[in-house]
Chain A
Amino acid sequence: MTGQKNFSLSRLIGFFLYIASASLAGAADDADRSGEGTEDRAAYTDRGADTCLKCHDEDDSFPVMSIFETPHGLQADERTPFADLQCESCHGPGAEHARKVRPDQSQAPIMNFKHDSAFAPAVQNDACLQCHADHSRTGWQGSTHEQNEVMCSQCHTAHVRHDPVLQDSEQAEICYDCHKKERSELMRASVHPVRFGIMTCSDCHDAHDSWATALLRQPTLNETCFECHAEKRGPFLWEHAPASEDCGSCHTPHGSNNAPLLTKRAPLLCQQCHTQAGHPSIPWDGRGVPGGPDPFNRQFVLGQSCLNCHSQVHGSNHPSGVKLMR
């Protein structure tokens, strides 16, 4: 058995090393993944940003001066583009792009960060990641957004004083560009207060990478919820197993018809699991609503339904809380 373990471990290590080797070897013939020629673009301009700003002033169709109102446009910080190769730190060597052309010719392309850019999303993103592959972006490669070829520039705007996606009041609208289902969910009767500017998408989600499904900030859904709902963390003496395992067993995160953010209203929500003889297994119906013929069934459908009595659905720390009533 020891030999088998060693064998497997070595194979595993070797496999990953091989992948790394193959990747590196592949990189040699993959220097330009944009499909553009490399020779001319490899040349930088003679005068850096001054070359660019001769054309790209405020009267140009691509004005860029607002970059100096952003953290990127500060030379005193050695980490910024303007402390390094200025515009060409991000846009790459620009001599060919800056070359004069005849009126019937187009400028040679330079790296730009638009949806219809000639440069592949990965190439565009690499320009950002050369500096930003830090803590929160270390797992960007292979993340859900990266796999779907989302570009940094789809969410971030570099040439404005305040990047909208970093503003609490504007962030959600940018996420809604793709996440249309969530936009509708957040307009329901019972919601997390995103459309009121109280919460942002990034309070729960990390757009760059995550341990958990749905790009959650914490390793599990429950740990994410407990950041604001710590009273539901326990550990309780009497736990309600689905609540301890997964808040999503009963709640939906963005919006619901059934307050508070429930996937379904009680008693039917509870009756999906609770089938004991007696009141949990009876099909309570409209006879219990006001004016209905069955007033003594009202406790199961009106008010807080099952929670009229079993109100400690997240767990109880009372020694008599077995049935989650204390």
Chain B
Amino acid sequence: MNRKMNQVVNRRSTRWAVCAAVLLWWSVSTAVAESEQPDTSDWACKWCVFNAGITSSLDGGIGYVSDDSFKFGQYTGLGNEGMFAIVDGEGEYRGEDGRFWDLSAYVLGSDRISAEAGGGKQGRYDVFFSYDQFPNLIQDTTSTPFSGYDILQLPANWVRADTTGGMTELSSSLRPFDFETERKRLSFGARFLPNRHWTTALQYRRDEKSGYQSIGAPIGGSLIAGFPFRTQSSLIAEPADSVTHLLDATVSFQSKRSHVNLGYQGSIFEQDVDSVTWQNPFNDLTGNGADAGRRALAPDNQFHQLYATLGHRFGATTRATARVAVGRMEQDATLLPYTINPGLQNSLPRDSADGEVNTRNYQLKISSRPARKLSFNADFTYNDRNNDTPRSTYDYVITDAMAAPGPRINRNYSFTNESIDLNGAYRISRAVRASLGYERKDAKRTLQQIENTIEDSLWGALALSPHATLDLDLRYARSERVGDEFRLVPDTDPPQNPLIRKYNMADRDRDAFRGVLSYTPGAIVGFGLTADYADDDYTESQLGLTEGDYLSVSTDLSINASPDIRINAYASLQNIKSTQVGSQTFSTPTWSAENKDDFETLGLSLNYEPMGRDISVHFDYMYSNSTGDVDIRNSLDPVSPFPENDTRLNRAELHIDYQMSDALTWRFGWIFEDYDSTDWALDGVNPDTIPNVLSLGAQAFSYSVHVPSVSVRYQF
């Protein structure tokens, strides 16, 4: 383009911008004026009953769990048979000057504790403090011969063997070991509002996790006649003790038209120990002295992010929002040696990974309702994860037992995702509203088989209200994802089959449909039906995931049988199906597998709350059933099918409240829960069931538990 053309274009664009600016000025100057305030001198509010004073209540009671079950008590801690206490109290003060405080506490048994306290002056400042403690009971059928915390040792009389079947001291060495974790979450924060325009806020959370999780710990391998090389492994208890500190500080300014927010987020993760070491329970068949192994735990790491949000309203109907966040994840934990095997030591290329990932997130959104019936939105989003971790060459050791066939360079994966979303809606009539949208997602990856994919989506929706009692929403979306040239990632050893297309970057066509029907013929009955269907077709994938289907149908019914009785019921069916293809011969497809998960869910809720009576009844019933089926087809060998996995939950809960006096209320409760599950990966798997994996004996859960309870509430 020559200079003259540039001048012409610049003059035109400048004029264009000037015209638009004049229009904007005109619009602003003629924008709807602030409505005039009425004369409120006679608005005495003499009938207003402003809330002031202290109110409080305290619940105390006991309950009983009829049977042991970790699954039942997974998040309540009520995993063991026996009595438990219930304490639930709250208190609050409200002053006419806006001063207030709140206190609440909830204790269930010994593991579930929640407490909050807060106060301040409404519209000026407030502070809060909270403490939350809850368990995660994972497995209690487990046992292990190991003992210790981060250094796990076997009994002195342990007899090593080539396989678990030969470990003669295994059964006598097993000791029960429950896998569970607990989180203790302490939070506090403060907010200061010097005037109606400014807000400053600070929040801190300390999240402490403790307990153990089961992990696979391989060492060496076995070379047994008739079988290929097999790694030997043990499932062990790894400490999960860590603390995460979270800090969020913001300053906000708000006016009639604009809003600005600046903030900082920090997250610091601290692990209690950096590794776990365990004795090798197997014979070292490699002959390299692999008598123990060590694995690294997640390293201490930090994330710091600055963010800003700017929102502005143009006139009465258009709003623009811009957001920016710039962050950094980093960790410089000292690297462990390649191995604790003294015969296989190499020198490290660096003392620390010096992990560093820089993140950038931008968003610009404009939304407008230029006319009464018309709205549109434009949204641009940019997310970048740039991994600046230095790359080095590592002469690694395989499972503390063998030198690697060659060195490897670490891969610092980076990702950039951009999306543009344009959509609009037009109300054709009071009964019909139509929407249309287009979205483009552009994903860029480094060091991967497909470095760039672009997904275009087009969707349309209709919201129909043919009658005051009937609403019907229909939505259809079509997406097509296309990647650029496929290439095998170099230095992958052993290499991937060149026919694989990983599903997160493979070419894909997706059709998705959603329908929602709502029928409310009156104040008594309401009915709803929701259906979702999605069909994925991975068009260019010869190996890997090739198809996926999802179907969900849910229905709701609500009945207000009388002013005192409300009934809600729901039912849903869901089906998830996918097909994947593999090649046993490292060539063209030789086998396929179809995964199918089916779910049925039912719920019923009944509330009886008679006005002017002393009693109320609440009943809930929940049923959830699922089956998981895997169907493998192999063109080279006969196939032995997997058993079906089933999970069935029945839960009924009844609460009866009886108000003895204005201050005193009794609550009687009964929970019944029946759970039955099968899992072919767990059922019948004892510590010595897998010849080359010393297991824990975890089993699928089945239980029936009754929990009666009684408590009394006193309203002060």
Contacts and interface: CB of A to CB of B under 8 A. Distances in A.
Contacts of A148: 473
Interface stretch (B172-180, B371-379, B665-673): B371-379
A320 interface: yes
Interface in B349-393: 353, 355-357, 359, 361, 363, 365-372, 375, 377, 379, 381, 383, 385, 387, 389
Chain A at the B interface: SS class: loop
A321 B397 CA distance: 9
A292 B639 CA distance: 12
Contacts, number: 556
A296 B689 CA distance: 10
B50 A73 contact: yes
User: Which of A22, A71, A237 has the most B CB atoms < 10 Å from its CB?
Assistant: A237
Interface residues of B, number: 217
Given A3-B9, A230-B269, A272-B545, A76 B98 contact: yes
Interface in A42-77: 42, 44, 46-50, 53-54, 57, 65, 68-69, 71, 73-77
B372 A33 contact: yes
Contact of B269 (A93, A212, A231, A276): A231
Of the four ranges (under 10, 10 to 19, 20 to 34, 35 or more), the interface on chain A belongs to: 35 or more
B606 interface: no
Given A25-B27, A220-B361, A184 B649 contact: no
B415 A82 contact: no
Contact of B43 (A86, A116, A138, A226): A86
B40 A275 contact: no
Nearest to A236: B355
Contact of B335 (A135, A227, A317, A325): A317
Nearest to A34: B372
A285 B630 CA distance: 9
Nearest to B259: A138
A302 B31 CA distance: 69
B552 interface: yes
A49 B230 contact: no
Q: Which 3 A-B pairs have the closest CB atoms?
A: A142-B367, A24-B315, A24-B27
A24 B314 contact: yes
Contact of B496 (A146, A234, A276, A301): A276
A271 B582 contact: yes
Contact of A50 (B46, B309, B530, B552): B46
B231 A133 contact: no
Interface in A80-137: 80, 82, 85-86, 93, 116, 122, 133-135
Interface string B454-465: 000000000100
B296 A318 contact: yes
Interface in A143-196: 146-149, 180-181, 183-185, 187-189, 193, 196
B210 interface: no
Contacts of B215: 304, 307, 311
Contacts of A74: 50-51, 94, 96, 98, 122-123
A317 B6 CA distance: 55
A235 B328 CA distance: 10
B317 interface: yes
Contacts of A48: 40, 42-45
Contacts of A184: 552, 554, 572, 574, 599, 601, 624
Given A16-B366, A47-B43, A278-B494, A244 B325 contact: no
Interface string B13-45: 110110111011011101110010110101111
Contacts of A302: 680-682, 685, 689-690, 693, 695
Interface in B78-109: 94-98
A76 B97 contact: yes
Nearest to B545: A272
16 contacts: A2-B6, A13-B17, A17-B20, A17-B23, A138-B261, A139-B321, A181-B530, A181-B572, A233-B269, A278-B228, A282-B582, A285-B640, A303-B682, A308-B216, A317-B353, A322-B396
Given A303-B695, A326-B296, A21 B10 contact: no
A108 to B, nearest CB: 17
Nearest to A19: B368
Given A198-B134, A239-B413, A276-B497, A317 B381 contact: no
A78 interface: yes
Contact of B530 (A180, A237, A325): A180
Contacts of B433: 149
Given A3-B5, A10-B17, A24-B28, A50 B413 contact: no
Contact of B556 (A180, A236, A295, A323): A180
Contacts of B412: 235, 239
Given A74-B122, A275-B496, A188 B413 contact: no
A18 B194 CA distance: 37
Given A49-B45, A147-B423, A318 B570 contact: no
A211 B98 CA distance: 35
A196 B348 CA distance: 47
A77 B125 CA distance: 11
A305 interface: yes
B56 interface: no
User: Which of A139, A244, A277 has the most B CB atoms < 10 Å from its CB?
Assistant: A139
Interface string B578-601: 101011101000110101010101
A27 B365 contact: no
Interface in A199-226: 209, 211-212, 219-220, 223, 226
Given A17-B23, A244-B415, 13 more contacts: A31-B32, A53-B48, A69-B94, A188-B624, A231-B269, A234-B301, A239-B413, A276-B586, A278-B228, A289-B643, A290-B684, A299-B230, A317-B298
Contacts of B574: 181, 184-185
B466 to A, nearest CB: 15
Interface in A242-287: 242, 244-246, 249, 257-258, 264-265, 268, 271-279, 281-283, 285-287
Contacts of A79: 123, 196
B343 interface: no
A134 B257 CA distance: 10
Contacts of A50: 43-48
User: Which of A76, A147, A220, A319 has the most B CB atoms < 10 Å from its CB?
Assistant: A319
Contacts of B75: 193, 196, 198
B146 interface: no
Contact of B123 (A77, A185, A236): A77
Contact of B379 (A10, A19, A142): A142
B184 interface: no
A227 B370 CA distance: 39
Contacts of B663: none
Interface string B408-424: 10111101000000010
B630 A268 contact: yes
A27 B31 contact: yes
B235 A82 contact: no
B647 interface: yes
A189 B556 contact: no
B539 interface: no
B642 interface: yes
Contact of A231 (B95, B298, B363): B298
B429 to A, nearest CB: 12
Contacts of B611: none
A35 to B, nearest CB: 8
Interface in B614-643: 622, 624, 626, 628, 630, 632, 634, 637, 639-643
B207 interface: yes
A281 B250 CA distance: 51
A283 B634 contact: yes
A141 B202 CA distance: 27
A193 B35 CA distance: 48
B318 interface: yes
B58 interface: no
A286 B398 CA distance: 29
Given A277-B586, A326-B296, A304 B214 contact: yes
